Amino acid sequence: MIGGVRAAPRASAFRVVATDPGSAARRGVLRTAHGDIDTPVFMPVATLGTVKGIMPSQVRAAGARILLANAYHLILRPGIDTIEALGGLHRFMGWDGAILTDSGGFQVMSLSELRVVSEEGVEFRSHLDGSKIFLRPEDVVSAECRLGVDILMPLDVCVAATDGRRAVEEGMERTTRWAERQAALEIAADRHLFGIVQGGLESDLRRRHAGQLAALGFPGYAVGGLSVGEDRRMTRDIAAETAAALPADRSRYLMGVGLPQDLLHFVGMGYDQFDCVLPTRNGRNGMCFTWGGRVNLRLARHARRDEPLDESCGCYTCTGFSLGYLRHLTVAGEMLGAQLATLHNLHFYLDLMAQCRDRVEAGTFAGWARASIERIEEGERR
């Protein structure tokens, strides 16, 4: 139920169970209404209530326990009333694990020609039919609660990497004011509203914003506005500084990143949650991630290769089909090719996180991560 004022900061939904002596990496557990989530964790993207190309049972079999959907897109289609009438988002999409919803803050940036931002909220012109919709921060949280999701992202102002410091600071301060309004809402104890740290590529603004949001006592914190066009090295530098400024007893979620080798860097900084469209989008386009770097299935040199895509992978794709067959499906435009590549990529990302968890528990993450990054990047250079 939405309404009322939160009397005190929410308790953390997260606990650290192991740390790595050679880095800031940690192994944790994130409590949700649909089960505990072991972290570090990768959350497959299900923007419209589906992970593109594969069935929910396959997503679960690959190791996923939490998915990411997008409240903004679901508000537009099919609409919150429809999803609520059909039993909430979990039942609607046939998923019994946890769900996190992004709020639409990224669309504030990416759909800049279709929206007007004011202190009260954001007026969008639908990219589907041109109709106007006005969303206050409170409206977004209300919609997420009605969807019945486990982790809610607040409406924030995300700016482009090319925006100047003044625009970054203004967006950051408005995000804080909106966060105060959303933090005051009454939300069920087993649902978790995270704060989102903005600040662009300005280190001092990132630290300031992390402190402002930490004072509001959110049960977890996301870091947004990175990997939006800036240099990857800059992404890492800002991500590291921001992670260090966030409370150690709360989950840290780095939004919208990234390549496997980058995820290993970010885990080493102390981040716990990740999402990215790369494994599914690239899979649909014939690009696969492996421990030896990326493999382009369209290349002619793979036509007669009888070995699996990744000999060290135990997924359905790698244990059942040759690289040559995957190449055939891809160049022929067969749907099965996109499905098998997507399934492998998700399995790879989820297995990467499982191995991170194991290495942190063993106290060997730092050395293993360095060797894994070098192995992947060496393969990229071939």
Alpha-carbon gap, residue 105 to 157, rounded angstroms: 6
Domain final position from 243, 275, 307: 275
User: Residues 20, 150, 275, 351: which is the catalytic one?
Assistant: 275
* pLDDT tens digit sequence for 69-81: 999 999 999 999 9
In terms of domains, do 304 and 353 share one? yes
User: Is there a single domain that holds both residue 319 and residue 215?
Assistant: no
Q: Is residue 6 part of a domain?
A: no
Residue 5, in any domain of the structure: no
Same domain, 121 and 269: yes
CATH of the domain at 102: 3.20.20.105
Is 275 an annotated catalytic residue? yes
As a whole-number percent, the residues of the chain with pLDDT over 70 amount to: 97
Choosing from 275, 294, 323, the residue where a domain stops is: 275
Using CA of residue 243, residue 106, residue 60, residue 297, what is the dihedral sign?
Answer: negative
pLDDT (tens digit, 9 = 90+) per residue, 364-378? 999 999 999 999 999
Residue 66: predicted pLDDT: 98
Residues 328 and 214 in one domain: no
Which residue shows structure tokens 């493999």? 295
Question: Per DSSP, which regions of the chain are E strands?
Answer: 14-19, 26-30, 37-39, 41-43, 66-70, 98-102, 115-117, 122-125, 132-135, 151-152, 192-193, 195-197, 220-223, 251-254, 273-275, 287-290, 293-296
Shared-domain flag, residues 267 and 293: no
Least confident of 98-107, 186-195, 312-321: 98-107
Question: Average pLDDT, stretch 111-129?
Answer: 87
Residue 4 lies in a domain: no
Q: Is the domain of 338 the same as that of 255?
A: no
* Residue 290 lies inside a defined structural domain of this protein: yes
Between CA 283 and CA 292 the distance in angstroms is 16
Predicted confidence (pLDDT) at residue 10 exceeds the cutoff of 90: no
User: What pLDDT, on a 0 to 100 scale, did the predictor assign at position 5?
Assistant: 37
Helix runs in 186-322, H state only:
203-214, 232-245, 260-269, 278-284, 316-320
Domain that holds residue 248: 14-275
195 and 313 in one domain?
A: no
Looking at residue 160, what is its pLDDT? 82
The Cα–Cα gap between 378 and 294 comes to: 11
Rounded-to-integer distance, Cα 331 and Cα 40, Å = 35
The letter for the amino acid at 78 is P
Residue 58 banded pLDDT, cuts 50, 70, 90: very high
Q: Which helix or strand (DSSP H or E) is residue 356 part of? A: helix 335-362
CA 87 vs CA 22, 162, 268, 336: distances in Å: 46, 42, 39, 31
pLDDT band at 48 (very low <50, low <70, confident <90, very high): very high
Is residue 165 included in any domain, yes or no? Answer: yes
Does the annotation mark 272 as catalytic? no
Q: Which of 212, 246, 275 is the endpoint of a domain?
A: 275
Q: pLDDT at residue 3 above 50?
A: no
At residue 6 the predicted structure's pLDDT band, cuts being 50, 70 and 90, is: very low
pLDDT, one tens digit per residue, over 286-299 is 999 999 999 999 99
Domain identity same for 266 and 287: no
Residues 139 and 226 in one domain: yes
Number of separate domains in the chain = 2
CA–CA separation, 220 and 273 (whole Å): 10
List 102, 150, 156, 262, catalytic entry: 102
Same domain, 219 and 161: yes
Question: Is 9 domain-assigned?
Answer: no
Q: What is the pLDDT of residue 4?
A: 37
Residue closest to 286 by CA, chosen among 351, 347, 318, 334: 334
The residues with which 274 forms a beta bridge, in sequence order, are 42, 254
User: For the chain, what is the radius of gyration of the CA atoms?
Assistant: 21
- What is the distance between the alpha carbons of residues 102 and 155, in angstroms, rounded to a whole number? 8
Residues 232 and 182 placed together within one structural domain of the fold: yes
Cα-based distances in Å from 288 to 92, 284, 291, 371: 30, 9, 10, 20
Residue 8 lies in a domain: no
Q: Are residues 232 and 330 in the same domain?
A: no
Query: Which amino acid appears at position 53 of this protein?
Result: G
375 found inside a domain? yes
Q: Report the alpha-carbon distance of residue 319 to residue 50 in Å, rounded.
A: 25
pLDDT band at residue 8 under the 50/70/90 scheme: low
DSSP string, 134-154: EE-HHHHHHHHHHHT-SEEPP
